[in-house]
Structure 1
Amino acid sequence: MELLNYDVLAKSGYTGFVQKDAQVKVLQFGEGNFLRAFVDYFFDISNEKAGFDGKVALVQPIAQGLTKLINNQEGLYTLYLRGSENGEKVDLKRVISAVDCCLNPYEKTDFDKMMEIATSDSLDIIVSNTTEAGIAYDPSCKFDDVPASSFPGKLTQVLYARYKAGKKGVVVLSCELIDNNGKELLKCVDSYIEQWELGDEFKAWVNNDNIFCSTLVDRIVPGRIRDEKEIQKLEAENGYHDELIDVGEIFGVWIIEGPKELEDRLPFKKAGVNVHVVPDVMPYKHRKVRILNGAHTGFVLGAYLAGQNIVRDCMQNENIAGFMNKMLNDEVIPTLVDHLDKNDLDEFASAVKDRFNNPFVNHELMSISLNSTSKWKARNMPSFLQYIEKNGKLPVCLTMSLAAYIAFYSNDISELTDAGLICKRPAGNTYTVSDDRWALEFYYEHRNDSEEELVRAVLGNKKMWDRDLNDIAGLTDAVVKDLKKIRTEGAEAAYAGCL
């Protein structure tokens, strides 16, 4: 079967939107599955729906990558967006034609091509997702390196070339998974300007003529399809061979922090896609962490003790799903309404329920359980404390989730190995708790405690919570009661008791 390219696509009978020719308006550092299923998808829709009429040039951020594969297919690849939407199974296919080419800047000809794009009149947007470690200042980088090894170093080279060519500033959209990613990226660029002595005028141009945006990205992207039989079936249906098939969930939202006028400069609002320019991205990060991630950490540990193994099956269980819904609707969302619209929060929570019910993803509870000590602190504790502050009482479900966390980490402990803490499910099979070593050692040391002793020790561990939670009125007794109920009646019955 022939490899996907524009001629092969035309012969295949594909009837979807395709744009073969357009100027490069976007320079994108990163060519992996996530950006191609998220950012490049949004630009592709913008070409179809908003007349963006622009292409994306991808830049391979490290010496090894997908440049050859992408260029062999003339930038084309097949994207499948799969999941559940409003309770209905969704499986959408789209051939993405927004990508112009991919460059490997570690080869001199591609480095020169990157600089040619950097100084073009058409370039308006720079996007990056170079992993969390990508936004880091490395003083060993030199200005005349071809290219600078760090991403911020490469970006400084690109911006300097653009400045020297007398071109307008660009919009920089950082997608790396760190807080204030855009601001941190600008700090790194400023550091290189100082180190490389590129001048105050260039520094002023970078900071005043360019817009560095912190952004929040949200789409689960499993990436490649690994089942060979499914690949063969899809390729037979498509009529071509595709080395770059990509898969993401149907849900996707991109929150961009920037001035209001940026909405008109970017094509996304006109295209009607789920991309939003906001004055502050942090409330939306809190929304994601506390609703999406907090729901996971809030119910999965008890659900695993109750005999469940994957998230989707939990959503079919009336007691577990009911517990999660009550936790979100009655205890988490009310702590967020001071900064975000209630309808927006409700819609996001509704989408989360669809995402957890994704028929294409077997999301294992044990994978979610990793490092649950720090996860409960980051994802659930802020909602827990704010609920108490607002209402003057304990939140029933979040308190139960804290007890479920303790139960999961302490259920019939047998040994502590290099792999983790070996515990036993009520059904009899063992499981391994994975977390920071100090946390596992703590639970192992307290393996023979009574419920009262264990709860008091956990709540009083300031290394876990940065405070003594025993000081919260009524909490110690409530968690002891919940832990005993989980151990005697089972976690599902304990969850049902919260409803």
Structure 2
Amino acid sequence: MAIRLSAATLSDLPATVTAPGYDRSVLTPGIVHFGVGNFHRAHQAMYLDTLFATGRDHDWALVGAGVFAGEAQGRAVLEGQDWLYTLVEQEAGRSAARVIGSYAGFVPPADGPAIVAQLADPAIRIVSLTITEGGYFLDSNDAFDAAHPAIVADAAAPDAPKTVFGLMLQGLRARRDAGIAPFTVMCCDNIPHNGAVTRRTLTGLARLSDPAFADWVEGNVAFPNSMVDRITPATGEREREILRTEFGVEDGWPVFCEDFTQWVLEDAFPLGRPALEDVGVQFVPDVAPYELMKLRILNGGHAAIAYPGGLMDVHFVHEAMEHPRIRAFLRKLEETEIIPNVPPVPDTDTAAYFDTIEARFSNPKIGDTIRRLCLDGSNRQPKFILPTLRDALKAGGSVTGLALESALWCRYCAGTTDSGAEIAPNDPNWDALQAVAIEAKARPRAWLEQRAIYGDLADAAPFAEAFGHWLRLLWADGTEATLDAYLAG
């Protein structure tokens, strides 16, 4: 019978499962984290757990926070397990399970006063974020969207905020008024220049109601940029069952991930930080080259295999990589249009970096799904694909494959696969996207006229013409034949 995970059962864990290598009773909070999801628990929380096991920095434990009532379910599971969970790292020929103990608590989600009180605690010196690419209130030009309804609401009622940024501002105001130094804001989302983006959103919201306070935030709060990487699929019954049967542990919210992990971070922490360099975090003066490489080659690569996989009824990512046409499409697109638009990265061979990514995508143990990669294209495409497209156009390079990727996304949003199976809604803007995708079947330019996504790219003739060609071919001949046409040149 599997052992139910809790603090009381740590000593009873099977020998194949590693328990936290430190006394959790000595941990004290130092970081509040917004967005307690799988990626964060496989990444930042894992690094801290590893660091704590070295015997140091036990005053940097995590406290979770969130603004959505739906996050209460995950919190309840973790609370019932004394804030413990199991992390399973998987390679093709190996799996290893360890219990992560770096959490000290989790403020009830959407409890504004409790969250602000935690943020105002002098012991909290870092506030970190994994709130997804769409959580930063950006417009199609990646500028702060002051007209977003949630921002308008927080600006009108700054003492009763509902967004992460409104809550952080209220916490910072409480610290300033009490003479407590401001915490550092550490974004860990996949956004270019993520620290700078977070600064713009936070100060932009503050400026709508209190310009003087916005100036104080601008001048006193640190926002280090970072690059984070680890493939981490969603948790379902498949993962819970594997943990029960193969490792003998009952865990309501385990995390499965690949063995590979990377974190590149700028060293800008006025109130100090954990010694993460001791456990593999790379501190550099400028994250931008690493960040751009990862966003374009890895995240752009995910987008490249997602939509043909979705249209061809492929379920798992590794199964897409087993399909010769999809794998060949990915490699040709990377080598001819993506990698040539990635500037040099210190001490890094970008071609070798892609080879590693190709192997990571092919890992059959991960169980990452094509549907997860297809999720939220309206936020992900402008960050992972369109910047490469713009640079390729400026350089006079080919955009044929990038146009095909965009056409595949459009065809996916029409809501049916090549076999006629229905695609369930998979984007916050699904209804609007589907209506435009159906219109684009007869008039492809309709898709590119979504200015909130494409900006002025609809006016770029090489892109628009290639997009229209590929979309018509996708509807006429299907995905496999279209990929064959692209691969044949």
TM-score normalised per structure 1 = 0.71
Structure 1 residues 465 and 344: alpha-carbon distance in aligned structure 2, compared to 1, 3 A threshold: same
Match of 1:494 among 474, 485, 489: 485
Structure 1 CA distance for aligned equivalents of residues 467 and 438 of structure 2: 24
Q: Equivalents in 1 of 2:112, 2:473: separation in Å?
A: 63
| Separation in structure 2 between the aligned mates of residue 381 and residue 362 of structure 1, nearest angstrom | 28
Report the equivalent of 1:345. 350
Of structures 1 and 2, the larger Rg is shown by 1
CA distance in 2, matches of 1:477, 1:462: 14
Q: 2:328 aligns with which of 322, 326, 332?
A: 322
Gaps of 5+ in 2: 138-149, 424-429
Identity of aligned pairs, percent?
Answer: 19
When the two chains are superposed, the root-mean-square deviation of aligned CA atoms in Å is: 4.7
Other-structure match for 1:118: 121
Deviation at 1:316, TM superposition (A): 2.8
Q: In the alignment, residue 11 of structure 2 is paired with which amino acid?
A: A
**1:34 aligns to what SS in structure 2?**
helix
On the 8 A contact 2:321/2:327 being kept in 1, the answer is yes
Alpha-carbon distance in 2 for matches of 1:376, 1:157: 32
Per-residue CA distance 1:176-202 (angstroms, 9 max, x = gap): 56664421343156348728xxxx6x7
Match of 1:232 in 2: 244
Quote the residue 1:451 is aligned against.
none
CA distance, structure 2, for counterparts of residue 24 and residue 408 of structure 1: 43
Provide the rounded CA distance (Å) in 2 between the counterparts of 1:150 and 1:407.
33
* Residue number in structure 1 paired with 2:255: 246
Contact (CA 8 Å) 1:76, 1:96: kept in 2 or not? yes
Deviation at 1:44, TM superposition (A): 1.4
Among 32, 39, 58, the residue aligned to 2:63? 58
- The residue aligned with 2:5 is 4
Given the alignment of the two structures, is residue 18 of structure 1 paired with residue 21 of structure 2, yes or no? yes
Deviations 1:441-488 (A, max 9, x none): 433435xxxxxxx7xx689979667356784499769958x959x949
Distance in 2 of aligned mates of 1:203 and 1:408 = 39
Q: Is the 8 A contact 1:459 1:469 kept in 2?
A: no
Asked if the contact 1:134/1:151 (under 8 Å) is kept, the reply is no
- Report the CA distance shift for 1:346/1:42 in structure 2 as closer, same or farther (over 3 A): farther
* Counterpart secondary structure, 1:232: helix
SS at match of 1:343: coil
Q: Which residue is 2:87 aligned to?
A: 79
Corresponding residue number in structure 1 for 2:436? 439
Please name the residue that 2:95 is paired with.
91
Question: Greater CA deviation, 100-109 or 435-444?
Answer: 100-109
Q: Does 1:35 pair with 2:48?
A: no
CA distance in 2, matches of 1:38, 1:70: 17
Q: Which residue does the alignment assign to 2:456?
A: 466
Deviation at 1:359, TM superposition (A): 1.2
Cα separation, 2, equivalents of 1:243 and 1:313:
27
The aligned residue for residue 400 of structure 2 is 399
2:286 match: 279
What SS does the corresponding residue of 2:293 show, helix, strand or coil? helix
Equivalent in the alignment of 1:219 = 230
Report Cα offsets for 1:225-246 as digits up to 9, x if no partner: 41364343256x24xx433322
Distance 1:342 1:152 in 2: 36
How many residue pairs are counted as aligned between the two chains? 451
Give the Cα separation in 1 of the matches to 2:353 and 2:272. Answer: 25
Displacement of 1:211 after TM fit? 0.9
2:30 is paired with a residue whose SS is strand
Residue number in structure 2 paired with 1:100: 104
Whole-angstrom CA distance in 1 between matches of 2:467 and 2:272: 55
1:416 match: none
Contact 2:204/2:214 (<8 A) preserved: no
Q: Secondary structure at the match of 1:79?
A: strand
Letter in 2 for 1:96: I
How far 1:173 sits from its partner (Å)?
0.8
Tell me the SS of whatever aligns to 1:430: coil
1:182 and 1:213 in contact (8 A); partners too = no
Please, which runs of 5 or more residues in structure 1 have no aligned partner? Answer: 412-418, 447-453
Matched, 1:288 2:306: no
